[in-house]
Every structure is written in C-alpha cells, then in structure tokens.
Structure 1
Amino acid sequence: MSTERYRIQFDGGIVDGFSAEAVKANVQALFNVSSERASRLFDGTSRNLKKDLSLDQANRYRDRLLKAGAAVAIQPMDMVPPAFPGESAGAPEPDKPQYATSLSELAVEPVDGEEGMAVNSAAPAAAVAAGEGQGEPASTGPARFEARPVGSTPIQRPVRKTIDPEDFRDAEFRFTGRGGEYFGIWIVNILLTIVTFGIYSAWATVRNNQYFYANTQLEGASFQYLADPVTILKGRLTAFFAFILYALVVNLVPGAAIILGIGFMFAIPWIVIRSLRFRAINSAYRNVRFDFEASYADALMVMVAWPFLNLLALFLLTPFSVLKTHRFMGNGFRYGTTRFRFDSTNSEYYAFFGKGLLMAIGFAVGGIIAFTLISPKLAVLVFMAGYLSVFGYFMAGLTNIFVNNLTLRDHSLHSHLSPKQMLWIYLSNSALVVLTLGLFTPWAKVRMARYRAACTEMTIAGDLDGFVAAENRRTSALGQELGDAFDVGVAAF
C-alpha cells in the first residue's frame, strides 16, 4: 500500500463548458466561504486547497471540484512546483490517475475531516450540478475534462506568478484589552496631565498607544509602540511656540495672516508626511518596524490640490479625491523593507459613494412625503433614520474599502465591518459617555477596538517571518505634533 501523500493544486483554471461566475458560485457553495474569499481563489496565483492526502482522498476532492468546474490537479507532496506557469514540474507515476475524463466517472460523496478547506457537504445540488456552467450544460451534453500532465498549463488559466506551495490561511486580528484595566491607565493619565500643566501628556500618549498596540494581536503576536515620550514632548513644545509666534505676528503685522496662511498651506504636506512616518516608524510587529515614504508632490496633491478641485467641481470629485488619499496612504506604508500595495479603481469608489448618495436621496424623499402627507414628527424620524443610516454606511464602508484593497507581498488584508453594528456601538458608546460624565470613555474605546479587530483578518501566504527589518531609523516627532497643534492631518477612514 502506497504511503505517498498528495495535494490539490488550483490556480484559477476553469473547465471547458463552464462560465467563470458559475464556477465561483459552485466553489463558494462547496467550501462554504464568502464570495470575496472564493473570488480570491481565481486571481491566477497557484494555491494548495488541500494537503497531505492519500491518493483516494485526493481523487475524491479533485472529482468534486472538477464537477464544480474548477480545473484542479493532484500533485505528490514531494514534487517541486513549477517555477513559471506552464513549466513542467516532473512526471507523475503512470499508474496513478490525475484527472477524471467525464462526469459519470466523478465521485460526488463529501469529504470532511482533513486539514485545510473543508468541503460543505450540505451545499445544494443545484450549486454544482444544475444549469449552464453548473455541472452538465443543457445544450452540450456531459462536460469533457481534458486530461493534462501535472504541471502543464490548466484550461483558461490567467498567467500569474506561482508562489511557494503553502496553504493560504485567514488569520484574524484580536483585541484582548478590557475596559476596567484601561480605566486605570486612562484616569492616571488625565490626573497627571492636569497636575503637570500638560507636560505629562507626552507620556500619556505613549502609555495609551502602548496599551492598545500590546493588546492587538495577529497570529498570537502583539504589536509594539516604541516612541520616546521625550521626543514627543520636544515636538509639542516646538509646535506650541510656533503657534504663539504665529499669533503674535498676525496681531502685530496687518495682512500677515494671509501670507502666513498661504505658507502654512504649503507646509501641510510636509507636516502630514512627517506625522505619518513618525507614527509608522515607531510601530512594530514581531520586532520589525513599519515605515512611511511619500513625496512632497504627492502629499501636496492629496492635501491641497484635489480638495480644491473638488470644491470647484461642486464635490463631484469626492470619490476620486478619497481614492487618491487612500492610494497615497496605502502605497506609502512599509513593513520593514516591503511596501504595502493599494489597488483599486475609480469605478469602485464612485459605486460606493453613489450607493450612499442614493440612500440619502431615498430618505430625503421619504421625509418630504411624510412631512407633506402625514405629520412633521414622522418626517423628523425619517430624516433622523436617514442620517444615521448614511453615517453608519460611510463609517464602516470607508474602512472596508480601504483595507480590502491592501496587500503586502502575497498577503492580503480584509475588513467586514457592519454599518448597523458600527452605528450601534457608536451611538450606545456616546450615550453612555454622556450619562457617566465621561467615565465610560475607556470602555467605549476598548469596545470599538475589539469590534474593529474582530472584523479584520489577513489572508497569509505561507508565513510572516520572511520580512527583512528595515534599518532602525528614527525620525523627529515634530511633524506629528505640528499636525496635532494645527489640527491638520490625513486619514484613510
């Protein structure tokens, strides 16, 4: 009896006679995953759907996937994958079947219990056997599966890079902080800041950030905040005296406000870059620091040019301006020496903002009708419901659209915040903070941080240990503190 173990490999290929959308729906039903995760399997990257299988187990998994229209292949675990798409990885043993050749030969019983992606045995038969592109096409008879050698180019495969043969897995972020625990830090920070006339605020900032970073975990490892409070204090004092000097000049020299205002407008991009870089370079994960790099010209466009053009265009450029801001931030961040990549389109952002606009218009029309035909009180309720719905939609949606378009090498980030849940947490937190005269603030912050972390995950290709730490550089806190003092900055959401 053979002891050789096998893996099921898939790189987005689709069997002849199936449509791409139907195959994605079939795979989603088989594995009981979200449509987003199912779609990622078809991006052309070679992935292992299952590993360490016996030949019989591998054949059964393959048969179910081929019946669903996914052109998968069986490979021995010890076979080195091809370096480039289409390059042969080596010939399999001739007595070991690799592909089924017709639907009648496919095994359809569910296979459960092994590691990796588990096939959903409860998936409806219609999801894998009925309709065009879902099993046997009605007009063409049984689908034909072309037998190909292992390592050859699968049917309709997008040509993309092949990665190391490791399973992709979803790792969830976790926030382990507690409101009562953070309350002790929060109240001491406030009291010491008051007693020291604000000097302790630099240490309070570091303690707050260290608490939230240390309690945010990914794959069992916590994030780190490494800033020096003395450096932050120096930056704040510089910003404070700059503000005093600005106020004196404006009061003593007529017309200086306009000149200084124009000068400050062109200083904003520099302040933003320095602020983002200071925060990034003092953040670390697994002892590898983050970084932020961007040009002054790009920051000037994001902070000054696009907002001004959007104003001239009567806010019709708002989706485009937000996209530019997200792209500026997403492409600017680094983890060690590896840059993040932000990849999205104008159409995605205009569709997102267009849906929000339609929601607002719908509630506005409903409010007007209620005011005209029923009662003003009902109209107020409709307008309030509309405002809250749109507010929750954008509060959750802007985070989701930014995070879902971020990748780090072969790893990708995902966010699935719910507008309703975000709105509920925000409103209930606000009400409790007011009712407790601010004492509920620590619990409110912890509650929101826990929910955001629970709704964020990273699809990891292999592991996160292959990153090389960038040079351990330091940067002045002046940029961040100028941003705080003059209330400027840039945010992704």
Structure 2
Amino acid sequence: MTKERYNELYQITFAGKTLEGFSNTEVRDNVKALFRISDERTARLFSGTRTTLKSGLSHNDALVYHRRLTKAGAEVQISVQPRTATVAPQAEASTPPPAPPADRQTQPGPMGSQQETPLEFTGSGREYFGIWIVNILLTIVTLGIYSAWATVRNNQYFYGNTRMDGASFQYLASPVTILKGRLIALAVLVAYVVLSEMYVEAAVVFAIAFIPLVPWIMVRSLRFKAVNSAYRNIRFDFQGRYGEAFMVAFVWPVLNVLTLLLLTPLVMKKTHEFIANGSRYGTTEFQLKADTGDYYRFFGKGLLIAIGFGVAAFLAMRHVGFTVGSIIAAIGYLTLFGYFMAGIANLFLGSVHLASHGFESRLQPLQMIWIYLSNSFLVVITLGLFTPWAKVRMARYRADCTAMLVRGDLNHFVAAEQNRTSALGQELGDAFDVDFAAI
C-alpha cells in the first residue's frame, strides 16, 4: 500500500433515491433534520440530480456519514474524490453532525477506490411455489428420499436468483451425496435408539463418545456448504480447525455459564471469528475485523432495551392493569427480537473483509419485525401455502440491504483461482449438510 493511497479523500453523493422500507416524505424529513437545511434546499436534493453532500473526507469519516444517512433512509454512495475536482459551494450541503466513534462497527484500513456493489434477488413467489409444492409432494411419495433433491433444488433457486455485479451465485452439491450423508445419520440415530431401549449403559457411553464428534461435524458441515457454493465459477471453501470448533462448541459456552453469561458477547465474537476467518473465496481468506467492544456495546444496548420494557411492563401491570402490561411486554419482546435479528447480521457482515474488500448490511429492526410477523400471519391463514412468498420476500429484503464494498475490481480472484490445487475434489463427497451459520 503506497503513501498516496493512504491520503485518498472520499465524497458522499446522493441522487434523491430512498431505501426500501422508507417513504419519500419520511426520508425528506430525516435528511432535512440531519443537515439542518431549508425546504427549498431539501427539494433540490431530491430532484433526481446526483449531488455531492460532503467531500474531502477520510474513509472512516465517510463511513460515518454513510451510516447516518442510510439510517435516515437515503440511498447514498461513497466514492473517491477526484484530486482535480472541486465542489461548488452551493452543491455541497451543510455538514451533518458525525456519529460518535462508538457507533462505528468496523475499523477498516486505508483503501483505494471504492464502489458499493449491491446484492439483488430476482426470484418471485409464484415461480418458487412450483418448485416448493413439487418438492413436498415428491418427498411424501418417496417417504423422504426425495428430500435430498428438494434441498438441492431449493438452494439452486435461491443461489441462482441472488446476483451481484451482474453474476449469480451457484449451488453445486450433488443430491446423491446429500442422500448418502443423511442415510448415515439415520443409521446412527437408529443404532442409538436401539441401544437406549436394550442397554441403557451402552446408550450413555454412545452419547458420551459422540461428543468429540460434534466439532468435527461442525467443520465438515461448514466445509460442505462452502465448497458447494460458487460465484463466477470460483468455489468458496472452509478451512476452520477442529480445536477452534471445540472451543466454540464447548469451552466458550461452559465459561459463559460459569461467569453468569457475562461472556455472551465474547462467545458470539469467537463464533463469528471461527466462521469468518476459516472461510475462503478461492484462495483468498475472509477476515473478521471487529473489536470485542463492538459486541459488548451491541449486547449492552439490547440489555438496556430489555430492562426498559421490563420495568415499564412491571409498572403497568402493577398500577394500570395486567392487559396493558402484557401489551408493553409483547412490544418489548418484538422490539428486542428485531434488534437482534437485524443487528447481529449487520454487525457480522459489517466486520467481515475479503482482502481489500468489505461488506455492509443495513437491515432495519422494525422492517424485519414487520416482514416476520406479516409472513407468519399469512402462512397461518393460508395453511402454509404462502410459505414460498414468505421466503422470497425475506430473501429479497436481505439482499436489498446487503452490499459488497469493492475496492478496485473482483477480477484478481479469477487469476488467483487458476493456481489453486486440485485437492478440493476429493472432499466433495463428505456430505454433512448440517445447518450451522453465523447469522
């Protein structure tokens, strides 16, 4: 990295577009309040012409402005400020107050040119319904055997309809391989049930002997999912170690219990590190760049939300009525649910880096709650038939709120992949498609 790139300046631009989930009026009011500008200047910002809101920023400061504006619902972009360019005084809006350092969830290093490359999901509920209903019927008719093919068809649909920079993701697993893995798992389960019915002591020994296998299964399941996922014909990979998985599965949770759950943020960070740092795209490693303090601040805010609603519900039940207190408690639960559902994804993806590239997630807690509740309601009243639309709806929202911060281009991954060893192929037969993820 040259000294010249360390001194790169950035600018924030805006073309009057709003993010999904925000009304135009709401965003106008938010931007007006944030910049403390008149109605006339606000109208000019939303005229559709791309305007430079702020220039001459370091990358860290640009991220702060970007985060504040996206929270307000404005679709803004960060770009490198041309060295010879000057911004007319009337084009640049008044300076909004920067967020305090505690609001920063990432600590990126010096960067070159950056471009935000959003994800998009192009699937539809009607299209996925045909796949979904056939999968269910064939799985029932074949007494579950078709479930392996159903898993592949589902994943291929969602991967193939998730696009970034004009290319789709790919799911490459073989249904036969998944079926073999499930048959092995079923045989182990049957053996355990038989032993537990015939010899209780043998069943206990069997269960204890299975414990050391849990970290191994975690590593193999993450690796299976990774090596069967690809983007631009380059496979992902997972190289996490058994010892790290053992710490995440047993040691850190036990220490957390012994410390009365005070280590919960640290345990989550260790889990995220295990998943992110063990992952690869081609030959390039992912890396989690987050301080432990980021996790404690995140959980601390959640704890304050829980305490606030808990106290309010208690006082309402005591002095107003049980019904009012129950309503407050229910609202508090949903608020906390949305906070963690959106916040954990934002924290994890915002802290992950791939070489010089970063990621960003802008999930909104209230929007997540609304989608989750409305999806659940519609699934119930349609006796499950709305499920395909519910899955597509959530997938589209998650994609719309996720972007890769590309510095330069992604072509160097293709060149690096050409030098990759062929040892990957022999691992594809290990089917441990157990669902274990960071978010």
Q: Same fold (TM over 0.5)?
A: yes
1:183 aligns with 2:129: yes
Deviations 1:392-416 (A, max 9, x none): 0000000000000011111101101
Give the corresponding residue for 2:54: 30
Shift of 1:127: 7.5
After TM superposition, list the pairs within 5 Å mapping 1:93-492 onto structure 2.
109=89, 121-124=91-94, 167-467=113-413, 468-469=416-417, 470-471=420-421, 473-474=424-425, 475-476=427-428, 478=430, 480-481=432-433, 483=434, 490-492=436-438
Aligned to 1:11: 6
CA deviations on 1:409-456 (whole Å, 9 max, x unpaired) are: 111011010000011100100110001000000000000000000000
Q: C-alpha distance in 2, partners of 1:390/1:257? A: 40
Aligned residues: 369
Contact 2:5–2:110 at 8 Å: present in 1 too?
no
Q: For residues 57 and 372 of structure 2, what CA distance do their matches in structure 1 show?
A: 29
CA distance, structure 2, for counterparts of residue 346 and residue 464 of structure 1: 30
Partner Cα separation in structure 2 for residue 333 and residue 362 of structure 1: 38
Superposition deviation, residue 33 in structure 1: 10
Structure number with greater Rg is 1
Does structure 1 retain, via aligned residues, the 8 Å contact 2:8–2:111? no
Q: Structure 1's 33 and 441: CA in aligned 2 closer, same or farther, altered over 3 A?
A: farther
C-alpha separation between the residues in 1 aligned to 2:129 and 2:266?
Answer: 41
Residue type at the aligned position of 1:49: V
User: What does the per-residue CA deviation read over 1:293-337, in whole Å, with 9 as the maximum and x for residues that have no partner?
Assistant: 011000000011111111222211111111100000010110000
Distance in 1 (CA, whole Å) between partners of 2:262 and 2:366 is 27
Do the aligned partners of residues 361 and 126 (structure 1) sit closer, same or farther apart at CA in structure 2, a change above 3 Å counting?
A: closer
Report the TM-score when normalising by structure 1.
Answer: 0.70
Counterpart AA for 2:54:
L
Query: Stretches of 4+ moved more than 6 A in 1?
Result: 32-37, 125-128
- Matched ranges for 1:54-73 at <5 A: 59-61=84-86
**2:54 aligned counterpart, secondary structure:** helix
- In 2: Cα distance, 1:403 partner to 1:317 partner: 21
- Matched to 2:381, the amino acid is L
User: In structure 2, what residue type is equivalent to 1:480?
Assistant: F
Higher helix residue share: 2
Could you tell me which runs of 5 or more consecutive residues in structure 2 were left unpaired when the two chains were aligned.
Answer: 10-34, 36-51, 66-77, 99-106
Residues 34 and 231 from structure 1, CA distance in 2 versus in 1: closer, same or farther, beyond 3 angstroms? farther
- Within 2, Cα distance between the matches of 1:446 and 1:192? 21
After superposition, the CA RMSD in angstroms is 2.8
Instruction: Mark the CA change 1:336 to 1:379 in structure 2 (over 3 Å): closer, same or farther.
Output: same
Q: Distance in 2 between matches of 1:366 and 1:11?
A: 49
CA change 1:413–1:244 in 2 (3 A) is same
Q: Partner of 1:314: helix, strand, or coil?
A: coil
Task: Give me the whole-angstrom Cα distance separating, in 2, the residues matched to 1:413 and 1:237.
Answer: 38
Structure 1 stretches lacking a partner, 5+ long: 1-8, 15-24, 42-46, 52-57, 65-107, 111-120, 129-157, 484-488
Identity of aligned residues (%): 49
Letter aligned with residue 124 of structure 1: S
Q: Could you give the per-residue CA deviations for residues 73-102 of structure 1, whole angstroms, max 9, x where no partner exists?
A: xxxxxxxxxxxxxxxxxxxxxxxxxxxxxx
Distance across 2 between alignment mates of 1:432 and 1:449: 17
- CA shift for structure 1 position 11: 3.0
TM-score when normalising by structure 2? 0.78
